[in-house]
Amino acid sequence: MRTMFIQPNYPSVVRKVLGEAAHPLGFGYLVSVLRERNEVKIVDALGLDYSPDEVVSKIKKFDPEVLGLTATTPSIYKAYDVARITKDINPDIKTIIGGPHVTFTAKETLKECEHLDIVVRGEGEETVRELSDVFEKEGDLKSVLGITFRDNGKIIETADRPLIKNLDEIPFPAYDLLPELKFDGKKYAVMMTSRGCPFNCIFCSSSLLCGKTWRGRSPENVVEEMRILKSRGINEIEFLDDTFTLNRKRVEKICDLIKREKLDISWSCSSRVNTINREMAEKMKSVGCHTVYMGVESGTERILKIISKGITLKEAEKAVKMVKEVGLNSVCSFVLGIPGETIETMKKTINFAKKLNPTFAQFTLATPYPGTRLFEIAKEKGYLLTKDWSRYTTLDPVMKIPGIAAKELKSMLTKAYIKFYFTPRKILEQLKDGRFSIIKKAFSAAYEYMKSQGREEFEW
């Protein structure tokens, strides 16, 4: 069957700052599963900044029988638009959507958008394979696990699909059908080497989406994919795992194999502050790692406990200091506006970020995404300000915090960036290392967004 996958275009701060948006890796996996028996195509409207007319043209030219969509929470309405356009072109095209947002709002999604036929919940590789078989044989959708669909005016939900136990069995993504990515003149790609998260952060849905049991690909499988990417001219890889460093022995084996294969490739990954040590960091750096992303989130122990982060401020200080000493860049994320916060706790978080002085800091507003415990808390306590999903960008307050006005939250976010980046020390560091252009772009994007939301006062 002719099957097309589209990542909808929408205003992306990441693309505005970096000039690129990561390609839809999930589609790469789905296409690799389907391509032997189907004619497949990926349209990355976000990465290539396609207009609606260009998307229409792509759909008409390929004339798909099945059209698959993905969407984050803030881009869901753009996915609805593509589904509507698709049905306008040909009502017989089967429209399917997957991703974190719709996994946790499956019935609501179908009620909100009459142009969508099926929601795929959770991991999609086995589900799309079975759907393809059912479509070809005109079988019964009720036999497919992990979907929510329409049936004679009713919305039917099948049982959840068990998680894929052995990730090595999934074919490598169809990189040949994904758009080429470049940053600073380097061709780069993204990879996922594990799924699942055993931790309990209240603002994250990863453990519900991919399970609380961590599942890692074998080191041999990981490095083979890296080798293939290198042969395609890729010079840079970003590992998208929630916690690449969770299994120390696996990380060490991956590093050993990179060294043995003599893969001259740069890479970055994410870690918790308490799952990385000096020996691991040194080994990672010796085989191309240059940056480690770490979630610190708050500058107070009380807020860390509220969000169930499972780390301490001392662990954060130790990890950031060690990563610097090893010679790796550090990117630390911080969340402002958790229920229970005060202006003072947010100031402490900003000051703690300045004290840590990572290479880069990312500040966001606490956003209660569907599927997270934070969403349930916000619903129960009446904190939700809106269910306009397009506002769930992490830059716009969508949740009430008792005692703090939405305007104050936006102001604190702007102040965080100003106070972290616009100090003599930070400016000199960025100029010395040739990174100031990124900082200017990042701040410009954040500032333009804030300005569009209303004038702010920057003093405290």
Q: What is the pLDDT of residues 226-250, one digit of tens each?
A: 999 999 999 999 999 999 999 999 9
CA nearest neighbour of 193 among 157, 155, 137, 239? 239
Q: For residue 416, give both structure tokens.
A: 């965080």
- The predicted pLDDT at position 6 comes to 98
Phi, psi of 218 (to 5 degrees): -70, 150
Mention every residue, 6+ apart, whose C-beta is less than 8 A from residue 314: none
pLDDT in tens, 407-420: 999 999 999 999 99
What is the rounded CA–CA span in Å between residue 226 and residue 231?
9
Which class does domain 2-157 fall in? alpha beta
What pairs with residue 42 in β-bridges?
5
Determine the Cα–Cα distance for residues 364 and 6; give it in Å rounded to an integer.
Answer: 28
How far, in Å, are 215, 257, 311, 336, 376 from residue 207 at the CA level?
11, 29, 17, 22, 15
Q: What is the CA 92 to chain-centroid distance, rounded?
A: 32
Return the structure tokens found at 192.
């996922």
Helix (H) or strand (E) holding 228: helix 219-231
> Would you state the structure tokens that stand for residue 249, as one six-digit string?
């022995």
Tell me the mean pLDDT in the region 388-399: 95
pLDDT tens per residue across span 99-126 = 999 999 999 999 999 999 999 999 999 9
Which is it for strands 94-98 and 118-120: parallel, antiparallel or unpaired? parallel
Whether pLDDT at 455 is above 50: no
CATH for 180-453, options being 1.10.443.10, 3.80.30.20, 3.40.50.1240, 3.40.640.10? 3.80.30.20
**So what's the pLDDT on residue 456?**
45
Mark out the alpha helices in 327-372 (DSSP H runs).
Answer: 343-356
- Per-residue tokens: 377: 């808390």
For residue 378, give the nearest of 390, 364, 392 by alpha carbon.
392
User: Lowest-confidence range among 105-114, 209-218, 365-374, 450-459?
Assistant: 450-459
Structure tokens at 223: 């490095």
φ/ψ of residue 330, rounded to 5: -125, 135
Q: What is the pLDDT of residue 23?
A: 80
| 456 and 414 Cβ atoms separated by less than 8 Å | yes
Closest CA to 314 of 331, 299, 294, 332: 299
User: Which structure tokens are listed for 132?
Assistant: 């393809």
With tokens 């189907």, the residue in question is: 38
User: What pTM, to 2 d.p., does this model score?
Assistant: 0.91
Which pLDDT score is estimated for 385?
Answer: 96
**pLDDT category, 202, cuts 50, 70, 90?**
very high
Of residues 398, 444, 452, the one with CA closest to residue 418:
444
Q: How confident is the model at residue 153, as a pLDDT?
A: 87
Output the DSSP codes for 181-250: EEETTEEEEEE--EE------TT--HHHHH-SS-EE--HHHHHHHHHHHHHTT--EEEE--S-TTSSHHH
Give the HSE-up count for residue 191: Cα atoms under 13 Å, Cβ half-sphere.
Answer: 29
As a whole number, mean pLDDT of residues 22-30 equals 91
Percent of the chain with pLDDT over 70: 91
Quick one: three-class SS letters along 249-309?
HHHHHHHHHHHHHCCCCEEEEEECCCCCCHHHHHHHHHCCEEEEEEEEECCCHHHHHHCCC
> In terms of Cα–Cα distance, which of 136, 92, 145 is closest to 117?
92
Q: Structure tokens of 128? A: 């799309």
- Of 282, 281, 357, 360, give the one whose Cα is nearest residue 316: 357
In this predicted structure, the answer to whether residue 19 has a pLDDT above a threshold of 60 is no
pLDDT (0 to 100) of residue 457:
45
Domain ranges of the chain: 2-157, 180-453
Q: Is the pLDDT of residue 204 over 80?
A: yes
pLDDT at 148 over 90: yes
